[in-house]
Amino acid sequence: MTIRASKKTKSEVSINEPIGIDKEGNEISLIDILGSDADLILDEVELKIQIKKLYQKMESILKDREKQILELRYGLLNGVCKTQREIADMLGISRSYVSRIEKRAIKKLYKELYLEG
């Protein structure tokens, strides 16, 4: 059994294991060649966490119309941003009313995410 188990790990390679030497004589590992900047990865993960948190807050604290206007205005559903005028025409309300709803929704989200959260 141990022979069979060791065969599985025999083909595994650690990304931190040295694989050679560079021009200056420093050891190079696989992570040096394949790896990306750790800060970039952390930033991307943090952004995804913040986006998920934003969507959760939008679901829980915004009224349906507020959420709909933000989704249309900033392209949260399909990546296509709409102007306040386009949204107003779609919903049959005035552009200034769209602006007020948008401002109120952003204020609610800001308060929830940054002042109390």
| Cα distance between residue 99 and residue 109, in whole Å | 15
- 20: which residues sit within 8 A by CB, 6+ positions away? 27, 28
Give 3's pLDDT tier (boundaries 50, 70, 90): low
C-alpha distance from residue 29 to each of 17, 18, 26, 53, 117 (Å) = 5, 4, 10, 36, 42
Local confidence band at 85 (pLDDT 50, 70, 90 cut-offs): very high
Alpha helices in 29-94, H assignment, sequence order:
30-34, 38-61, 64-74, 84-91
pLDDT band at 96 (very low <50, low <70, confident <90, very high): very high
pLDDT at 1 > cutoff 60: no
- pTM above the 0.85 mark? no
Domains within the chain, CATH numbers bracketed: 2-34 (no CATH), 38-115 (1.10.10.10)
Q: Give the DSSP H/E element, type plus range, for residue 18.
A: strand 18-21
